[in-house]
Structure 1
Amino acid sequence: MKEGPDISQIGALIGDPARANMLTALMGGQALTASELAGAAGITLPTASSHLSKLEAGGLVTQRKQGRHRYFTLADNEVGLLLENIMGFAAGRGHLRTRPGPKDPALRKARVCYNHLAGDFGVRMLDRLITDGDVTLDGEEAALTPSGEARIAALGIDITALKAQRRPVCRTCLDWSERRSHLAGSLGEALLARFIADGWARREKDSRAVRFTAEGERRFTAAFG
């Protein structure tokens, strides 16, 4: 067919190994400079700048200037969702990177997936919410029940504010390391932000890993099993 969306353009942008590495680096949710992204991709700065121009033109990344520096982020939540789905699909088909590095165990336990919690902890949290009847699933669609709203409100999260956003409150993401779904959407983002704000966890520097404190892990386990 010569009509309709052209997925080949998006596929070509994501399919280049250097660009894929830069996009993966941005899945941590932090704004990164071209130099930082060049390091993540293992390429020179001029080459990285060329790739970033293509990604920006394709609507996958955006940039903002601060002083003399330019910082790049994923363009929006839809790009993060697309990349996480591709990562989950690739993992499910056995397309995994070989010789995992020393940080991989931490990433498998708890990490940032663009703006929400992924890894073993992310999957456990969604499982517990479903088991307790606080989240319902209809295929891949997720919804927060009245009991779930009360549970989330007790954690200090404003449900009304989440509902006012233009994106879903609950959504599932296929976790590339667990091969099962974790919680995304505005609720997933709010929960991760709450864990960090309350001191349960912190972001690892220069990594997507999320490190829970001993007390934070105890509270997380009490709340979500």
Structure 2
Amino acid sequence: MTMTGVRTEPVLGDVEIAEIGTLLADRSRCRVLMALIDGRALAASVLADEAGVARSTASSHLAKLTEAGFLRVETHGRHRYYRLAGPEVGELLEKLTQIAPARPVRSLRDGNRGAQLRAARTCYDHMAGRLGVGIMAHFVECRYLVGGDGEFHPESAPHDKIIGYGRDVAYELSPAGRDFIDEVGITIPDNGRSLIRYCVDWSEQRHHMAGRLGRAILDHFLANAWIARRPVGRSVQVTANGSRALADIFDISWN
């Protein structure tokens, strides 16, 4: 809109958090989002199965989530795939899992899923759970990372919360750490993001590694088949080769 040649912007009021709440109030839509929290792109048919709804119903949910900015669509030939719109969406979902009430375990399958998540999972683009915390602890104990001890100290870390990126500890990669990364063959991408970040792990309540280094470690584990993604969801399985690599390289006993 212009007035006497001067462009004016529309006046915006307070943000409508209630609209987001309404969107997430549907259990099926939440299941779709949680199926994508590991950063992968999945087909609508897979997401329909994960949400337990018909394909037509899933299509409506996906359209609403995409319009709201939670998802983006990728087209490959005749096929359309959906993924989270960005890391900030994954971080929001991780935070919501911390404050949301736990669903009662009503079956062996539910119990197994919970145990798998606590053991080893992705936190958007890096590793979390007992596996992610163990790798972080190895870097700290060997002085590959300096500046913190890998532990969550709520009394001295006023800005850190249980889940999400930490802010109170400034980790740095030491020269010994760079030598270790080179020796293992981990390639760190140069994409402008912070090299070292950390999250307070919700299941272990200790630090796990994020940032470019966290992403590079996850990529290295996947490329070497040390871990394998499950068909849907964010839990990952440590392979036999991965167990040996964890013991030999990271001094982690995994069974």
TM-score, normalised with respect to structure 2: 0.74
Write the distance in 2 (CA, Å) between the matches of 1:26 and 1:89.
19
Query: What aligned pairs does 1:54-93 form with structure 2 within 5 A after superposition?
Result: 54-90=64-100
Decide whether the 8 Å contact of 2:71 with 2:82 is kept in 1: yes
Q: Which residue of 1 aligns with 2:238?
A: 212
Letter in 2 for 1:20: C
1:22 aligned counterpart, secondary structure: helix
2:112 aligned counterpart, secondary structure: coil
Letter in 1 for 2:174: P
Q: Which residue of 1 aligns with 2:247?
A: 221
Report the Cα offset of residue 207 of structure 1: 4.3
Q: Which residue of 2 aligns with 1:145?
A: 173
Pair 1:131–1:10, CA change in 2 (3 A): farther
User: Which of structures 1 and 2 has the bigger CA Rg?
Assistant: 2
Write the distance in 1 (CA, Å) between the matches of 2:194 and 2:211.
5
1:62 aligned counterpart, secondary structure: strand
Report the Cα offset of residue 224 of structure 1: 3.1
Write the distance in 2 (CA, Å) between the matches of 1:15 and 1:134.
43
1:172 aligned counterpart, secondary structure: strand
Q: Are 2:228 and 1:194 aligned?
A: no
Q: Are 2:123 and 1:113 aligned?
A: yes
Report the Cα offset of residue 98 of structure 1: 1.4
Q: List, as ranges, runs of 4+ consecutive aligned residues in structure 1 with deviation greater than 6 Å.
A: none
Q: Which residue of 2 aligns with 1:156?
A: 185
How many residues are paired up?
217
Decide whether the 8 Å contact of 1:81 with 1:173 is kept in 2: no
Write the distance in 2 (CA, Å) between the matches of 1:170 and 1:213.
26
2:74 aligned counterpart, secondary structure: strand
Instruction: State which of 46, 50, 58 in structure 2 corresponds to 1:40.
Output: 50
Pair 1:108–1:127, CA change in 2 (3 A): same
Tell me the percent identity. 40
Report the Cα offset of residue 6 of structure 1: 3.7
Report the aligned-residue RMSD. Answer: 2.4
Decide whether the 8 Å contact of 1:202 with 1:210 is kept in 2: yes
TM-score, normalised with respect to structure 1: 0.83
Structure 1 portions without partners, runs of 5+: none
Letter in 2 for 1:196: L
Pair 1:187–1:56, CA change in 2 (3 A): same
Decide whether the 8 Å contact of 1:115 with 1:189 is kept in 2: yes
Q: Which stretch of structure 1 is more off in the superposition, 80-89 or 5-14? A: 5-14
Decide whether the 8 Å contact of 1:60 with 1:74 is kept in 2: yes
Query: What aligned pairs does 1:7-22 form with structure 2 within 5 A after superposition?
Result: 7-22=17-32
Decide whether the 8 Å contact of 2:36 with 2:233 is kept in 1: no
Letter in 2 for 1:144: E
Cα-to-partner distance string for 1:146-172 (whole Å, 9 max, x where unaligned):
23333223222234x3xx323222222
Instruction: State which of 68, 73, 98 in structure 1 corresponds to 2:104.
Output: 98
Write the distance in 1 (CA, Å) between the matches of 2:191 and 2:23.
29
Decide whether the 8 Å contact of 1:118 with 1:182 is kept in 2: yes
Pair 1:13–1:154, CA change in 2 (3 A): farther
2:61 aligned counterpart, secondary structure: helix
Cα-to-partner distance string for 1:194-214 (whole Å, 9 max, x where unaligned):
112223222233343322223
Report the Cα offset of residue 193 of structure 1: 1.1
Pair 1:8–1:185, CA change in 2 (3 A): farther
